[in-house]
Amino acid sequence: MAEPFRVLIIDDEAPARAKIRRFLASDGRFLAAGEAPDGTEALASVRRLRPELLILDIQMPGLTGFEVLENMEETKPQVIFATAYDQFALQAFEAHALDYLLKPFDQSRFARALDKAWAQLQAGRPSAEASRLQTMLSQRPLDRLVVKQDDHWIPLPLRHILRISAKGKQVLIHSDQGEFLANWTLQELEARLQCHGFARVHRSEIVALDAVAQMEPWDHSDALLILKDASHVVLSRTYRGAFLERWGGCRS
């Protein structure tokens, strides 16, 4: 018989985890490799245990289930979502035809979800479901960014962010709570933060419109933006028109 697939159970409730562990124990195809009570621990456990399947709660204190998925580094395990009541999550699952468990669920419903996950894991190649999952995550509205602070993941509300600059393959987020490196690309963030009051001002810079205190001319047709924290950012010709339209609009 093949090795059982390793499962990580992520749920903030101890009894709920115990129940899932109990259900998993009766299925020889899977092995409960570990548990995590919140998103931060989940990310650490994923790195350590490299599970093949996540049973993932959406609403958790700290990081949500979606934020856990977005911040996992290289491992991309199969996911079974579980949620008690979350309008947005349910809409997103329906819209992208993703399977999910509604709490409370019984053993037979859980077994069906396991069967489906097992079939996909057996197939061993990136499934259509996995790509639909990626699409859903990329379309999810961002109301905060998850950043790493001394080996610890914390959510950073958008209102704390002053600007974001490209730094190698990552981005550096400048906030009133310090600077954080995060695994995003500037293009991706530009697209997803545009409707939240952020604007691209330079090839390697996004600023929060509210954080711009003042603008001064600089050489050529570039300009210099002075932010609330007294830092300076170059507003390049390319982005000047679009920026001024939104910055002026937001100040008038």
Partner 1 sequence: MESSGELPWDAIAGDPVAAESFPARIWQWPRYHLRSTLLLLVLLTANGLWQGNTAYLSLRGDGSTVFWGKPFLWELTGHFAGFLCGYIPYAAATNAPWPRGRWGRFLLIHVSAGALFAVLVPFLFLGMRYGLYPLLGWGHYHYGPLALRLPMEWQKLLLTYAIICAGMSFLFQFRDRREKERREAELQVRLREVRLQALSSQLDPHFLFNALNTISSVMYESLEHTDHLLASLGQMLRDGLNSGNALWPLARELAHLEAFLDFTQARFGERMRTTLRNEPDLDTTLVPRFCLQRLVENALKHNLDTRTGTILCIEIEAERTGGRLRMAVLDNGVGFRDPVLEEGIGLGNLREVLALSYGAEGHLELGNRPGGGARVVIELPLGTSHG
Q: Which residues would be at the binding site for partner 1 (CB under 8 A)? A: 12-16, 18-19, 22, 37-41, 59-63, 84-87, 102-106, 152, 154, 159, 177
Which of 87/252 has CB closer to partner 1?
87
Strand arrangement of the beta sheet that strand 30-36 belongs to: 30-36, 5-10, 53-57, 78-83, 100-102
In the block, which residue shows the tokens 């699409």? 135
Beta strands in 209-252 (DSSP E): 212-217, 223-227, 232-235
Which of 94/216 has CB closer to partner 1?
94
Q: How far is the CB of 28 from partner 1 (least distance, A)?
A: 20
Decide if 86 contacts 123 (C-beta within 8 A): no
Burial of 189 (0-12, 13-18, 19+ CB in 10 A): buried
Which of 110/198 has CB closer to partner 1?
110
Q: How far is the CB of 87 from partner 1 (least distance, A)?
A: 8
Q: How far is the CB of 100 from partner 1 (least distance, A)?
A: 13
CA distance 63 to 148: 12
Q: How far is the CB of 215 from partner 1 (least distance, A)?
A: 26
Decide if 204 contacts 238 (C-beta within 8 A): no
Which of 52/57 has CB closer to partner 1?
57
Which of 84/172 has CB closer to partner 1?
84
Q: How far is the CB of 105 from partner 1 (least distance, A)?
A: 8
